[in-house]
């Protein structure tokens, strides 16, 4: 039986990465509350959000009587961990400036969780990638905000875009920083019977 993949995300970056892997899929965005819980570590938060996104889409498909044994749901979530604190998307320009100033000249971890589930089971995995930034000037940070790129990105930057210019080094999965770790996603989908 050929299994079909449902991507629980509206992210064009995740769609592009799945296409790069030659994995056909449909898109069903998940609408969940992404607020951190009290005392939740970045690792716990990113794993919970990916799992909840997958479960939300499964519940939607079940309600539509569209969930079947040949469907596999893939969800992902990405956030930055800096000094043990979770850093998500910026709320506005001031918040983006705060985040980029904080990351300037330092190393942070990008945590990307992937969750795959079907009718019977689910598995969630977190991939950690270390990213080191160059020292940024206030002018660079201002100019970067004006491009529009940082507004909806975890950590207020896109490594695959202009923000890649700030990255001195990366240790781990570059595709995980973009939003979907290619190797681990392939392994997990294969374990659920998805072959492309």
Q: Is residue 196 part of a domain?
A: no
Residue 57 domain boundaries = 4-191
Does any domain span residue 68?
yes
Phi, psi dihedral angles at 178 (to 5 degrees): -70, -30
pTM of the model: 0.92
User: What is the structure's pLDDT at 145?
Assistant: 97
Residue 57 lies in a domain: yes
Total count of domains within the chain: 1
Half-sphere exposure at residue 152, Cβ-oriented, CA atoms within 13 angstroms: 6
Q: Report if residue 11 sits inside a domain.
A: yes
- How many angstroms separate the CA atoms of 85 and 70, rounded? 39
Tell me the CB-side half-sphere exposure of residue 19, using CA atoms within 13 A: 8
Mean pLDDT of 67-78: 95
pLDDT in tens, 4-39: 999 999 999 999 999 999 999 999 999 899 999 999
Asked if residue 128 is part of any domain, the answer here is: yes
Look up 92 and say whether it is catalytic. Answer: no
Cβ count within 10 A of residue 7: 24
Report the mean per-residue pLDDT for the chain: 95
Checking 58-62 for CB contacts under 8 A at 24+ apart, the result is 58/117, 60/28, 61/6, 61/28
Handedness of CA 127, 170, 21, 24 (dihedral sign): positive
Q: Is residue 140 part of a domain?
A: yes
Catalytic residue of the set 31, 77, 118, 152: 77
DSSP three-state, residue 194: coil
CATH of the domain at 19: 3.90.950.10
Residue 101 falls inside a structural domain: yes
Q: Is residue 53 part of a domain?
A: yes
């Amino acid at each position: 039986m050929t299994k079909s993949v449902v991507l629980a995300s509206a992210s064009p970056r995740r769609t592009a990465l799945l296409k790069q892997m030659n994995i056909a899929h449909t898109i069903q965005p998940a609408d969940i509350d992404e607020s951190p819980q009290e005392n939740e570590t970045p690792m716990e938060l990113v794993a919970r959000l990916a799992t909840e996104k997958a479960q939300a889409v499964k519940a939607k498909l079940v309600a539509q009587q569209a969930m079947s044994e040949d469907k596999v749901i893939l969800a992902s979530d990405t956030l930055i961990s800096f000094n043990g604190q979770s850093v998500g998307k910026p709320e506005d320009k001031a918040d983006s400036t705060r985040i980029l100033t904080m990351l300037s000249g330092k190393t942070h971890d990008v945590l990307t969780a992937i969750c795959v589930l079907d009718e019977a089971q689910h598995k969630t995995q977190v991939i950690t990638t270390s990213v080191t930034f160059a020292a940024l000037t206030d002018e660079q940070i201002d100019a970067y905000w004006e491009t529009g790129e940082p507004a909806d990105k975890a950590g207020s930057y896109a490594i695959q875009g202009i923000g890649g210019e700030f990255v001195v080094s990366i240790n781990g999965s570059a595709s995980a920083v973009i939003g979907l770790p290619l190797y681990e996603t392939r392994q997990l989908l294969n374990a659920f019977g998805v072959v492309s």
